[in-house]
Amino acid sequence: MNIPPLPKSAAFIHLANPRGFCAGVDRAIDIVSRALDIFGAPVYVRHEVVHNKFVVDSLRDRGAIFVEELDEIPDTDSRNRPSIVIFSAHGVSQQIREKAKLKGFKVFDATCPLVTKVHLEVTNFSQSGRECVLIGHAHHPEVEGTMGQYDNSSGGKIYLVESVDDVQTLQVQNPERLSYVTQTTLSMDDTSKVIDALQEKFPLIQGPRKKDICYATQNRQDAVKQLALECELLLVVGSLNSSNSNRLKELAERLGCEAYLIDSAEDIEPGWFLDKSRFGITAGASAPEVLVQEVVARLKEICQQEPVELKGAEENIVFSTPKELRA
């Protein structure tokens, strides 16, 4: 890649704050890492522990084995111990939990506590005889896990909607006893429109006491809104299968800022910088800071300028790891 440097003082770089890892991602990666330290390889992880290629490849190199189905995991390891199984940060259904228990695995749960909050809301709605609408993206593992918390044995249902159009065609069995929850990594603006549509169509619908979109998703979207006002081009560090990273890119584009989702500095294309001088960098909640700094270094070469870090929300949330994995 050959990008000629821009004339000095002709360009500037803004760095989003906050960006990158959230508390749930930190915790999930730490659980896999500590399990490898304590029990040794292999450690089996159902689904990618977080949606980032660099993180997954790094853990795979240490002996983590990522699977999509529990049937891919042997009941015991080479020393005849129960296999170590870790649920990803996105969470799993009750059916998956029961199957892991029946197979006798030693399970560590890396589900983000904020996803667990949504799971408990769905369980409570189900147990109280309320139907539930989940706002989320079909086939996303978090959505599959959340849908799988609802017990429909008593005749109730959980419904999935992604858009206002979905709400218009939604038919429920009991609109008088209806609730909603959301995926934690959605666009705040889009979700607000879907909630408004639900409340208009089903006036008695009830939502969670506290919103389900997580603090990190909100803070990173707020930072992008600030960047989009200052920049012509935004680079979002994150993997293609990262929901929250994709939402950052889409938000910037919606605000009129050209944006690209990249796994690393190696993905940067020369043509992106033509006729532009104001650049921004952010990262999704599953992207490590080391990748951000590589992108920063590349843009410093191009712009011949030091980046300016914008002020943003301070994040000091920490989620604890399971007792058995603590030092």
Distance CA 146, CA 138 (A): 11
SS3 180: strand
Q: Are 295 and 281 in contact (CB under 8 A)?
A: yes
pLDDT in tens, 139-156: 999 999 999 999 988 789
Q: Are 12 and 303 in contact (CB under 8 A)?
A: yes
Total Cβ atoms within 10 A of residue 276 = 13
**Is 230 assigned a catalytic role?**
no
> Can you list the domains of the chain with their CATH numbers?
12-21+215-309 (3.40.1010.20), 23-112 (3.40.50.11270), 114-213 (3.40.1010.20)
Rounded average pLDDT over 60-74 = 98
At position 18, the amino acid (one-letter code) is P
Instruction: Tell which residue, 259, 219, 227, 262, has the closest CA to residue 242.
Output: 262
pTM over 0.85, yes/no: yes
Q: Are 181 and 208 in contact (CB under 8 A)?
A: yes
SS3 content of the chain, % helix, strand, coil (to 5): 40, 15, 40
pLDDT band at 9 (very low <50, low <70, confident <90, very high): low
Residue from 48, 121, 131, 142 carrying the catalytic annotation: 142
Q: Are 309 and 13 in contact (CB under 8 A)?
A: no
Write phi, then psi, for 126 (nearest 5 degrees).
-60, -45
At position 178, the amino acid (one-letter code) is L
Distance CA 110, CA 133 (A): 25
Q: What pLDDT sits at residue 4? A: 56
Better-scored residue on pLDDT, 89 or 271: 89
